[in-house]
């Protein structure tokens, strides 16, 4: 009996591993197709053909193409939020937090190029569920940044709404840089990172002189 249970466990684990491998193959196939196409222009059959599985097998992993796209959105942002929180961990040195945050985004785009290209295209793309999912992820970044900004000098005296406004500006600058990085060579990436640091320092310089409107 113990031997039979052991064999059953191995078979179960093997099936689970094979299922995950197939799921990852579908995600990779979709990303490959999305390198040259928008999400609403690729079909389930194209994705399964690229992945080397039958269309009916797709539904063992995703309810529909939109669900696959939502998983790609989640994967695209991945650990970026945690990395950015670590980058701005020391509120006493704003310039250092800016530099580390820019470096973090540059590294993330380098390591997750296909995912970030997908985000850049679909942020304003034709699939509403994906647009909203991307917007929610960016909104979460802005919310977390707004909370962290409360630890920085001057900004700590701002209202929650004003800190969120500043956070939205910073996120927009970062998103713009990420999109530009996708097709940049090494020299251009360095220049983009340097320019973004300057833009963010300009934003923070303006923030230091901001006077919230009286209630």
31-72 pLDDT tens trace: 999 999 999 999 999 999 999 999 999 999 999 999 999 999
Give residue 111's pLDDT: 94
pLDDT band at 5 (very low <50, low <70, confident <90, very high): low
Top-tier CATH class for 2-62: mainly alpha
- What's the CA gap between 165 and 2, in Å, rounded? 62
- Mean pLDDT of all residues in 138-142: 95
Give residue 85's pLDDT: 87
> CATH 1.10.10.60 residue ranges in the chain?
2-62
User: Which of 44-48, 134-138, 149-153, 197-201 is least confident?
Assistant: 149-153
Report the chain's mean pLDDT, rounded to a whole number.
90
Q: Which of the two residues, 213 and 74, has the higher pLDDT score?
A: 74
DSSP state of 37: S
> CATH 1.10.357.10 residue ranges in the chain?
75-208
Q: Is the pLDDT of residue 126 over 70?
A: yes
Per-position DSSP letters for 42-88, written without gaps between them: --HHHHHHHHTS-HHHHTTT-SSHHHHHHHHHHHHHTTHHHHHHHHT
Give residue 197's pLDDT: 96
Fold annotation for 75-208: Tetracycline Repressor; domain 2 (1.10.357)
**What is the share, in percent, of the chain residues with pLDDT greater than 70?**
91
Give residue 87's pLDDT: 85
Within its chain, how far is the Cα of 78 from the centroid?
6
Give residue 152's pLDDT: 85
- What's the CA gap between 202 and 183, in Å, rounded? 25
- Mean pLDDT of all residues in 124-140: 96
Q: Which of the two residues, 161 and 152, has the higher pLDDT score?
A: 161
Half-sphere exposure of 77 (CA within 13 A, CB side): 19
């Amino acid at each position: 009996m113990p031997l039979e249970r052991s064999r059953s466990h191995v078979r179960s684990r093997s099936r689970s591993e094979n299922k995950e491998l197939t799921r990852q193959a579908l995600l990779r196939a979709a990303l490959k197709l999305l390198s040259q196409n928008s999400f609403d222009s690729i079909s389930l059959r194209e994705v399964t053909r690229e992945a080397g599985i039958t269309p009916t097998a797709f539904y063992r992993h995703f309810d529909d193409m939109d669900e696959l796209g939502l998983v790609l959105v989640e994967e695209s942002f991945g650990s970026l939020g945690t990395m950015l929180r670590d980058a701005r961990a020391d509120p006493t040195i704003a310039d250092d937090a800016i530099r580390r945050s820019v470096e973090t985004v540059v590294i993330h785009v380098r390591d997750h190029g296909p995912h970030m290209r997908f985000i850049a295209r679909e942020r304003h793309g034709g699939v509403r569920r994906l647009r909203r999912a991307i917007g929610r992820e960016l909104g979460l970044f802005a919310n977390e940044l707004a909370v962290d900004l409360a630890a920085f000098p001057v900004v700590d005296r701002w209202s929650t709404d004003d800190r969120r406004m500043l956070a939205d500006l910073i996120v927009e600058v970062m998103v713009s840089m990420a999109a530009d990085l996708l097709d940049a060579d090494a020299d251009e990436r360095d220049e983009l990172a340097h320019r973004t640091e300057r833009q963010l320092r300009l934003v923070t310089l303006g923030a230091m002189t901001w006077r919230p409107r009286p209630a």
